[in-house]
């Protein structure tokens, strides 16, 4: 399996506990992952944009995690600008992963709903914003950890990449049964209704109804 090169960016300063928690989750979820860079940067939007671009375009990292700088702040403030800097460099959003992080963390960390983090793609690099603090960062990452490897497979056109079900045969039996039950409980099937009209010698557009 191809080695995964990852970088961790802390804003505004390195948190050793958060680093340990995130590293443990990454190594468990993504085989052959190597942290090739870990640094911190101040809450300066354009500096953050430049660093993220260099890690994506020049260093060609596969995965970038930012930790911190994602909470609400006054509009003109220079604080908590990581999501804004990230949005400026992304080429494609992955909003489902961002929502999954918040939903997973919220039962234990209610303020996770205030986490403004973004997840998306630049080139072949996946960028993921985590909130500050070891507990919050770890809980958010847990929510999407199993999806990191499949996402990276897509970005590198790995074969076979995971796919959504393409036919009913790919859908679990329980889901197919539920679908049939839903249709049965929703009323008369259109085909059955047409057969009834034919038997009764009436047309569905008969004004006598």
Domain 4-155 coded CATH 3.90.79.10 = no
pLDDT, tens digit, 9 for 90 and up, residues 46-73:
999 999 999 999 999 999 999 999 999 9
Per-residue model confidence (pLDDT) at position 207: 44
Choice between 192 and 33, residue whose per-residue pLDDT is larger: 33
Please classify residue 75 by burial: count the beta carbons closer than 10 Å to its beta carbon, then call 0-12 exposed, 13-18 middle and 19+ buried. Answer: exposed
Per-residue model confidence (pLDDT) at position 208: 45
Q: What gap in Å lies between CA 36 and CA 156, rounded to an integer?
A: 19
Q: What gap in Å lies between CA 163 and CA 190, rounded to an integer?
A: 32
Share of the chain above pLDDT 90, in %: 71
Q: Is the pLDDT of residue 136 over 60?
A: yes
Per-residue model confidence (pLDDT) at position 31: 87
Q: What gap in Å lies between CA 172 and CA 177, rounded to an integer?
A: 9
DSSP 51: H
Quote the pTM value. 0.79
What confidence category does residue 157 fall into, taking pLDDT thresholds of 50, 70 and 90?
confident
Strand partners of residue 103: none
How many residues in the chain? 209
- For residue 92, how many other CB atoms are within 10 A of its CB? 9
Choice between 187 and 41, residue whose per-residue pLDDT is larger: 41
Provide the mean pLDDT of the chain.
Answer: 87
Q: Could you state, in order of their start, the residue ranges of all structural domains in the chain? A: 4-155, 168-200
- Locate all alpha helices (DSSP H) within 30-144, ordered by sequence: 45-57, 82-89, 95-105, 134-142
pLDDT, tens digit, 9 for 90 and up, residues 103-133:
999 999 999 999 999 999 999 999 999 999 9
- For residue 169, how many other CB atoms are within 10 A of its CB? 7
Contact 64, 125 (CB under 8 A): yes
């Amino acid at each position: 399996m191809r080695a995964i090169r990852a970088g961790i960016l802390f804003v505004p300063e390195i948190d050793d506990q958060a680093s340990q928690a995130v590293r443990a989750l990454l190594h468990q979820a993504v085989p052959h992952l190597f942290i090739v860079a870990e640094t911190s940067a101040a809450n300066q939007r354009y500096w953050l944009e430049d660093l993220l671009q260099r890690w994506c375009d020049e260093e060609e990292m596969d995965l970038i995690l930012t930790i911190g700088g994602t909470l609400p702040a006054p509009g003109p403030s220079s604080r908590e600008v990581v999501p804004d800097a990230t949005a400026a460099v992304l080429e494609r959003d992955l909003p489902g992963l961002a929502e999954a992080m918040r939903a997973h963390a919220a039962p234990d960390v209610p303020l996770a709903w205030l986490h403004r983090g973004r997840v998306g793609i630049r080139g072949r690099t996946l960028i993921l914003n985590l909130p500050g603090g070891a507990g919050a960062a770890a809980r958010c990452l847990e929510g999407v950890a199993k999806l990191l490897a499949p996402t990276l497979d897509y970005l590198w056109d790995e074969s076979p990449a995971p796919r959504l079900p393409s036919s009913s045969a790919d859908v679990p039996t329980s889901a197919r049964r539920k679908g049939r039950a839903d249709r049965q409980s929703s009323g008369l099937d259109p085909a059955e209704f047409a057969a009834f009209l034919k038997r009764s010698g009436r047309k569905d557009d008969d004004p006598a109804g």
